[in-house]
Amino acid sequence: MSQKIQTLSGYINEYQRSVHQPEKFWGRIAQSFHWQKPWDNVLSWDFKGPDIKWFENAKLNLTENIFERHLFTHGEKAAIIWEPNDPKEAHRIISYRELFEMTCQFSNALEAQGVEKGDRVIIYMPMIPEAAVAMLACARIGAVHSVVFAGFSSSALADRINDCEAKIVLTSDGNFRGSKNIPVKEVVDEALEKTSTVEKVIVCKRTNSEVTMKSTRDVWWHDVIKGQSIDHKAVTLDAEDLLFILYTSGSTGKPKGVVHTTGGYMVYTQYSFLNVFQYEQDDVYWCTADIGWITGHSYIVYGPLLAGATTLMFEGVPTYPHAGRFWEIIDKYKVNQFYTAPTAIRALQAKGLEPIAPYSLDSLKVIGSVGEPINEEAWHWYHDHIGKGNCPLVDTWWQTETGGIMISPLAGITPNKPAHASLPLPGIQPVIVDAEGNELKGNNVEGNLCIKFPWPSILRTTYGDHKRFKETYFSTYPGMYFTGDGAKRDHDGYLRILGRVDDVINVSGHRMGTAEVENAINEHPRVIESAVVGYPHDIKGQGIYAYAICDREGVSDQVLIEEIKGTVRKIIGPIAKPDEVQIVNGLPKTRSGKIMRRILRKVASKDISNLGDTSTLLNPEVIAEIIDGSPSD
Ligand code: PRX
């Protein structure tokens, strides 16, 4: 626990050390881990290549740092508390020793199925402990996992399988979410019709739903672990060997595979977890994310387990079977740190105070927020009614690409300021730049957020496409990592994140690329052209608004709109379904043929009093038509 900062002056000192002597700083932090062979060099980097290596030539296995490192001190401590979707079903408490045995056994099973170091394994599973076991077993044998959120459609799943040429898929016979039982095995079967690399599908029994098993390909989880030993010798990995790939949306093209490697990610997730949440030995920590997202990777599984914490995993949704479910769970397990997303907070805020009333919530010490900017109203509601006014609220800014929390208060140490992610963690050097890339020093400045020095859990590449990696993150402002976010440094030097400045929409904390949604819409046979923008949404933060030019002959707009929504749902998944679709005759375009999205954003946001300069438009007449046709409520 020596990595933990205790005071504000301690934070300031650590921060200064981390900036002036980063290698010495991270070398010291990394020493508390178990390395089979130490590094030759803490860091070598070049943001032009780009080429970034942390703990060069060190050898390790991350899971030895979860299990072998901790078992003597807390083998019987709860590693995972699992709360099922249906509160009437039994919960599970899995100790570190048991989790270790499950991981070893599944590691042996994966190897017996032919999975080797470096092979890619897709995990398309519900929020059950076996999903965490699957991730850990991959890490133990050196296979590269790629978790796909189980709400993605078969074609989104197929795209990911194809991109990483996965050898094996892990799934379940069904997925309970609220009152639904989602037939995920069918989705996998459909996806595999469009792929050719997968040799085996391992199916974990969860819902006891009837599924079709393809005899040469599909095997049951409980069958593959049968007879496998609960001992397993961890495979030796290089610090820069791939740990996982996680697909995320950007402003162009298909989702890209963000690559994280072993050593740096391990060091940073444990360090950031301990410091941001100020976790103490007997605490129960709960992050409500899904393991399909980076938050689930870093702060349900890796960070907490590396720190020897008790991490709660919840299978269900916040409103099932009632709107007080989160609060009931907090009281049931005496949760000390609670970490959720603004969209969940706003949705629960809308239910009023009644669902909270039966619960004391007095175990809470720290509450956290992640995924999107938290508006002041939601911040105060969360702080006052859930934190009861006396829990520090950590508004944590970070990204799939950053691997861990970058800018955040340290709970109880950094003074809280509503809706401000506040200050960078030690080792993180954020800068605000203007459009030309000049650093805006000092306070009271606003611009684009970049990071000018590497940190241990920075992504290393985008899978199979290093050029795209360079173009996406290091070309806008050469020599710096560009986050895609706008930010403001206020008069106190505190940072406030303003949201994306590129064509990425943040819907309920999930990233959607406008181009990706447009491509899906364009699959509808009657769609000629489309444009998608984000607009402010009371609960989701941003909603998806689509404009489509269609062949309207013989079909009503209402039917077209529903069909377009259905097409997106089928091609990407329910999270990408547009909230609004407007059928239009034309889209505002510049003389060079570029869609003027600025105008579309304003119309979607019902902010039409000043549309700005439209003199470069080729077809200004479409604007009035679009305004007339937009929903009036
Ligand atoms: O726009 C920022 C927003 O979420 C984006 C990253 O999304 P993703 O890679 O899916 O990771 C989400 C969970 C780490 C960022 O570029 N974002 C994330 N956290 C915050 C945030 N915006 C404002 N405040 C935050 N605390």
- Within a domain: residue 601? yes
Q: Which of 258, 497, 500, 501 to probe ligand 1 with, by most ligand atoms within 8 A of CB?
A: 497
Asked whether residue 253 falls in the same domain as residue 384, the answer is yes
Residue 104 domain-assigned (yes or no): yes
**Mutation probe of ligand 1 site: the residue of 290, 508, 511 with most atoms within 8 A of C-beta:** 511
Gap from CA of 502 to ligand 1 centroid (Å)? 13
pLDDT in tens, 23-55: 999 999 999 999 999 999 999 999 999 999 999
Query: CA-CA distance, 49 to 91, in Å (whole number)?
Result: 49
Residue 609: its pLDDT value, please? Answer: 86
Last residue in a domain, options 235, 260, 283: 235
* Rounded Cα distance, 96 and 66, in Å: 8
Measured N-to-C along each axis, helices 22-30 and 8-20 cross at an angle, to the nearest 10 degrees, of 120
Per-residue CA distances from 404 to 10, 42, 269, 300, 424 (Å): 21, 19, 6, 12, 12
**Residue spans of beta strands (DSSP E) within 272-365:** 284-287, 310-314, 337-340
With a 6 Å cutoff on the Cβ, whether 278 touches ligand 1 is no
The fraction of the chain above a pLDDT of 90, given in percent, is 95
List the end-to-end C-alpha distance of the chain, in Å, as a whole number: 54
C-alpha to C-alpha distance for 311 and 383, rounded to whole angstroms: 22
- Ligand 1 center to 479 CA (angstroms): 22
272 within ligand 1 shell (Cβ under 6 A):
no
**Distance between CA atoms of 287 and 339, rounded to whole angstroms?**
5
User: Which CATH number belongs to the domain containing residue 91 in this structure?
Assistant: 3.40.50.980
Residue 5 belongs to a domain: no
Q: Which helix (H) or strand (E) holds 92?
A: strand 92-95
Nearest CA to ligand 1 atom 7: 399
User: What percent of the chain shows pLDDT beyond 70?
Assistant: 100
Q: What is the mean pLDDT of residues 80-102?
A: 98
Q: Is the shortest distance between the CB of 508 and ligand 1 below 6 Å?
A: no
**Rounded CA separation 507/499 (Å):** 12
Q: Please state the atom number of ligand 1 nearest to the C-alpha of residue 484.
A: 16
The H or E element containing residue 188 is: helix 184-192
Q: 381 with 434, same domain? A: yes
Cα 495 to Cα 265, 382, 453, 527: the distances in Å are 24, 20, 18, 42
- pLDDT tens for 562-591 read 999 999 999 999 999 999 999 999 999 998
Q: Do the domain assignments include residue 298?
A: yes
Cα–Cα distances in Å, from 72 out to 47, 75, 162? 41, 6, 42
Strand partners, 313: 82
pLDDT at 632 over 70: no
Specify if 170 maps to a domain. yes
* pTM, to two decimals: 0.96
> Is the pLDDT score of 363 beyond 70?
yes
Closest residue by CA, ligand 1 atom 25: 397
| Residue where one domain finishes, among candidates 191, 207, 235 | 235
The verdict on 540 and 608 lying in the same domain is yes
Residue among 506, 510, 542, 575 whose CB has most ligand 1 atoms within 8 A, to mutate: 506
Which residue segment(s) compose the domain that 111 sits in?
64-235
- Separation CA 27–CA 54 (nearest Å): 10
In short, whether 295's Cβ falls inside 6 Å of ligand 1 is: yes
Please, which residues have CB within 8 angstroms of residue 31's CB and are 6 or more apart in sequence? none
3-state helix, strand, coil in the chain (%, to 5): 30, 25, 45
Domain count, the chain: 3
512, part of any domain: yes
CA dist 302 and 244 (Å) reads 12
Whether 331 and 398 map to the same domain: the answer is yes
